[in-house]
A and B are shown apart, each in its own frame.
Chain A
Amino acid sequence: MLKHAQGTIRGKTLVHKRAYFLNFLCNLGLEYIPHYYGPFSPELEAAIGRGRALGFVREETVDYGPHRQLGFEVRRFDCALTDDGHVVVEDLVKRKPEECRKALACLDELARAGDDSYVALSIAAKTHHILRTVGQPLTRTQIVAQASKLNWQVSEEDINGAVEFLKRLELVKVDKT
Chain B
Amino acid sequence: MRELRDPIHGFIYPEIVPEIIDTPAFQRLRSIRQLALASLVYPGAKHSRFEHSLGVMHLAGRIGRRFKLAPEDLRALCLAALLHDVGHGPFSHVSEDIVDRFYDKNKVVLERGQKVHEIITQGLIKTDEDLRKYLSDYDVNRVNGILGGTGGYRLLSDIISGPLDCDKQDYLLRDSYYCGVKYGIYDIDRLIDELEAVESDGDRILAVSRDGIHTLEQFALAKYYMTTQVYKHKVRLVTDAMITRAIELGIEKDRLSFLEELYRYDGSEDFLRNWVKWDDEALVAAICTGKDRGSAYQIFNALRQRRLHKQIYSQKIASGVFKARTRMALSENFTAVAKYIEIEVGRLIGSEDPNLIIANKFTIKSVREQSRNEKEAPIMVAGPGGLTLFEDESMLFCSIAASEEDEYLEVYAPPPPEFSDEVQKKKLRAKWAIEITEIVEQIVKNYLSNKGGTCDDGFRGLPGNVETCSGNDKGQDPGA
Contacts and interface: CB of A to CB of B under 8 A. Distances in A.
Same complex for A and B? Answer yes
A31 B113 contact: yes
A63 to B, nearest CB: 11
B413 to A, nearest CB: 26
A38 to B, nearest CB: 12
A31 B454 CA distance: 26
Contact of B380 (A36, A49, A85): A36
A42 to B, nearest CB: 6
Interface stretch (A15-23, A87-95, A106-114, A158-166): A87-95
Contacts of B386: 36, 151
Contacts of A149: 200-202
Contacts of A43: 374
B318 interface: yes
Contact of B328 (A42, A52, A91): A91
A151 B389 CA distance: 13
B405 A49 contact: yes
A88 B328 contact: yes
A40 B386 CA distance: 18
A95 B453 contact: yes
Contacts of A53: 318, 404-407
A98 to B, nearest CB: 11
Interface string B390-420: 0000000000011111110000000000000
A61 B328 CA distance: 25
A50 B332 CA distance: 10
A35 interface: yes
The residue among B112, B327, B380, B388 with the most chain A CB atoms within 10 A of its own CB is B327
A42 B375 contact: yes
Nearest to B331: A54
Nearest to A147: B201
Contacts of A137: none
A44 to B, nearest CB: 11
21 contacts: A31-B112, A31-B113, A35-B377, A46-B374, A49-B369, A53-B407, A54-B327, A55-B318, A56-B327, A56-B328, A84-B324, A87-B325, A88-B328, A91-B325, A94-B453, A95-B451, A95-B453, A95-B455, A96-B454, A151-B201, A151-B386
